[in-house]
Amino acid sequence: MTEPHELSAVAQLDALRAGEISSRELTEHYLDRIDRLDAGLGAFVTVTPEIAMADAARADERLARGEWSPLCGLPLGLKDLYPTAGIRTTFGSAALAEYVPTEDAWAVGLLRQAGAVIMGKTNTPEFGAACYTENDVTARPAVTPYDQGRYASGSSGGAAAAVAAGLLPVAHAGDGAGSTRTPAATCHLVGVKPSRGLVSPAPASSFFSTVIEGPIARTVRDAAMLLDVLARPWPGDLYGWRPETSFASAATRPLARPRKIAMWTGTGLDGVTPHPQSVLAVQRTAGLLGELGHEVHEIAIPAGCDGPVRQALKDLFVYAVGTMAPTLVAADRRHLFQPYTQHLITAAETMTAAEVVTAQTVLARYASTFLAGLDEFDLALTPTTNGPPVPIGHYFANGVDGEADLMLGWSCYTPWVNLTGQPAISLPSHVDGDGLPHGVQLVGRQRQDVELLALAAQLEDASPWADVHPPCWHQ
């Protein structure tokens, strides 16, 4: 007999609407799996059974009246970097372990309004500052269910671990330099970073922000369903926009013509070679795209990431985290920050305004080089990560001063897309001989998210990766 979590999120919604399962039954199923399995996965910071059951009861009442909304009765996890009214939001920091906001972030509010059943907050590194998910709030790092001795990446590591292990049907995530895509790759999932402005950052507002929320899911169609809910601009958005068609319909509609796709595996970093399995992932996907009728052209990476660019990335990261963290935490609790956060704050205190502006200028030029280099192509194909999920503790080998370089060497394929504002999606490629997942990244033109999702769905139909699961899936 098929267990509820074995159905796709879209199929679960269909079952809810048809009366084949109640939201209460579905919610109880997932709460039981969280209770039994999460201790080994570190997927959740906070689980909210009382709120979830109340949400489910309301959903069942609405369904009984014949009412419907896009996520009515579907369990969902929210990333712990985003405020949730009445539910603690720690930002992955022990300094904020008891903080309970009074208002929802804009996207969180959209998910609640759509009828989602809120199961809790998924694990994240402190202030989202790392591509691994380990903090002083939870007893366990977020690990990939394929090997519980390896990180599920970050900063959406908890979301990815939960979906891959069948603790959630789909999850809310956020991506500032790869934080949705790299966790998806470590957990054999689909992760979407939308075009700049598609998902509102409200209540935040900035002339220069690389962070955008999006879905982590098992299938492209599940991701498209959640993205349709999130893609609603706040009236004050500087870059807000909406597509003319839904992502759900794009994921079921064939592409009208073949696409011209650029491909590379070079890391752009001197002395950092591409991992053989990452190369294999791209080659496999390029071959499949060719069989589907698309043109794939191997090119050199349009811009390298060494010298001034690497320094600019570090400077902007230091400035963003090092100035934001102290504003959120009272002075008498800042001693609870982790060593890496303390390191970033200290570095930010010595930065000048000129250094910040210079970093932004260097990175703007870097992003423009990518856009110009890809102008003749419809999309780009790269690995998502430079190698498999890394062992717990990997990034601590060279102390806090060495963390940034180790992280960039592994996640080097993703940050440029946040700078250009293009849409990107990480798709599963294969599981290697050690049982570890690998993913590929597809990048579309700015605001061509619909086309990107359509191509991803075409690949999914040709290579049904949703049938691959970690060992705990059947527990």
Walk me through the domains of the chain, giving residue ranges and CATH numbers.
7-474 (3.90.1300.10)
Q: What percent of the chain lies above the pLDDT cut of 90?
A: 97
User: Has residue 464 got a pLDDT over 90?
Assistant: no
Catalytic, 23? Answer: no
Dihedral sign computed on CA atoms, order 54, 56, 62, 68? positive
Report, as an integer, the average pLDDT of 44-64.
Answer: 98
Q: Sorting pLDDT into bands at 50, 70 and 90, what band is 388?
A: very high
Catalytic residue, chosen from 22, 23, 79, 411, is 79
Catalytic, 179? Answer: yes
How far CA 423 is from CA of 16, 181, 182, 256, 452, in Å, comes to 31, 11, 15, 20, 8
Report, as an integer, the average pLDDT of 339-344.
Answer: 97
- The residue whose two tokens read 């919610």 is 27
pLDDT of residue 254: 82
pLDDT of residue 271: 96
User: Has residue 206 got a pLDDT over 90?
Assistant: no
Distance of CA 212 to the CA centre of its chain: 9
pLDDT of residue 118: 98
User: Has residue 356 got a pLDDT over 80?
Assistant: yes
pLDDT of residue 225: 98
Q: Sorting pLDDT into bands at 50, 70 and 90, what band is 209?
A: confident
Catalytic, 121? Answer: no
pLDDT of residue 196: 97
Neighbours of 261 (CB within 10 A): 22
Q: Sorting pLDDT into bands at 50, 70 and 90, what band is 146?
A: very high
Report, as an integer, the average pLDDT of 165-170.
Answer: 98
Lowest mean pLDDT among 114-118, 137-141, 202-206, 373-377: 202-206
pLDDT of residue 208: 79
User: Has residue 448 got a pLDDT over 80?
Assistant: yes
| 106-138 pLDDT, tens digit each | 999 999 999 999 999 999 999 999 999 999 999
- As a residue count, the chain comes to 475
Q: Sorting pLDDT into bands at 50, 70 and 90, what band is 184?
A: very high
pLDDT of residue 423: 98
Give pTM, 2 decimals: 0.98
Catalytic residue, chosen from 153, 179, 426, 429, is 179
| SS3 at position 282 | helix
Report, as an integer, the average pLDDT of 346-360.
Answer: 96
- Scored b (16 or more CB within 10 A) or e, 444-460 reads bbebbbbbbbbbbbbbb
Q: Sorting pLDDT into bands at 50, 70 and 90, what band is 203?
A: very high
User: Has residue 1 got a pLDDT over 80?
Assistant: no
Under a CB-based contact definition with an 8 Å cutoff, are residues 24 and 60 in contact?
Answer: yes
pLDDT of residue 207: 85
Q: Count how many Cα atoms sit within 13 Å of the Cα of residue 89 in the half-sphere of its side chain.
A: 20
Q: Which is more confident, 464 or 439?
A: 439
Rounded to an integer, what distance in angstroms lies between the CA atom of residue 186 and that of residue 189? 8
Q: What is the pLDDT of the chain when averaged over all its residues? A: 97
pLDDT of residue 353: 95
Catalytic residue, chosen from 153, 155, 195, 411, is 155
Q: Sorting pLDDT into bands at 50, 70 and 90, what band is 285?
A: very high
Judge residue 200's burial from the number of C-beta atoms within 10 Å of its C-beta, 0-12 exposed, 13-18 middle, 19 or more buried.
buried
Under a CB-based contact definition with an 8 Å cutoff, are residues 271 and 371 in contact?
Answer: no
User: Has residue 205 got a pLDDT over 90?
Assistant: no
User: Has residue 340 got a pLDDT over 80?
Assistant: yes
